[in-house]
Amino acid sequence: MIRFTKMHGLGNDFVVFETAADASLPSAERWREWSNRKTGIGFDQALVIQPARSADTLAYYRIFNTDGGEVEQCGNGARCVAEWLRRQRKLSGPIRLESRGGIIEARFDSNGLVSVDMGEPRFFDDDEIGLSIDAMTIRFTRVSMGNPHIVIWVPDIHSAPIAELGPILESHPMFPQKTNVGFLQFVDREHARLRVFERGVGETLACGTGACAAMAVGRRDGRFAATVAIDLPGGRLSLRWEGPGSHLWMTGPAVVAFEGSIED
């Protein structure tokens, strides 16, 4: 039996558990079964916490999508991993964590929120791209937050063709490893709205790295201030980025829903 904790960040939900570094993990088929919301646990990603691989970190975590694939980074997931460790090990100060996407720092705020240093956004030489899809030219910006994203400016996220364009862009041949697709609406310099079609998952209620990518694009385009509130379907994240040469910080909740066990 595997004992797990069900957690979420603004409705972006996870199953979280700890294993030894050499423990065998569930197969891709098993992840798909457990992620099913009718016959399994139900989750967007599984977060597997393992012993630290670097001397200056507290733990290493791995991220598996509902399609069974392993990915590099997850912003809401990073906050949940940090909160899980805080509760389990009775921590109070900042901690450093590592995933395939690199090392991040997490801080615990007095109001119950978790802040995570997501590093510096990385843009590409050919970051501004236009693709012709179904007689439409879709323009977007590529950016990495330790995992791949594209960001599309839209006039209104409620009418944006997410269900139609999300799967096409996610699996476009331009992205051999697939990509996350963000649809971003400008409100004012300190406020935006966002919906994200996540790679290997579909549209989720919130995407932490997607919000970071949106902040990076809006800031680089000169449309955002250094601090921006981004509203996703599941709630609000606070983003701060001074610009190139500095790290981007994300602040939001990390909530425990319940604990349980499932047969391996």
Residues annotated as catalytic are 74, 207
Contact 69, 28 (CB under 8 A): yes
Calpha distance 248→113 (Å, rounded): 16
CB 140 within 8 A of CB 123: no
Is the separation of the CB atoms in 196 and 183 below 8 Å?
A: yes
Residue count of the chain: 264
Nearest alpha-carbon partner for 162 in 174, 150, 145: 150
Can you spell out the DSSP letters for 42-103? --SEEEEEEE-SSTT-SEEEEEEETTS-EES--HHHHHHHHHHHHHHHT--S-EEEEETTEE
DSSP state, residue 220: H
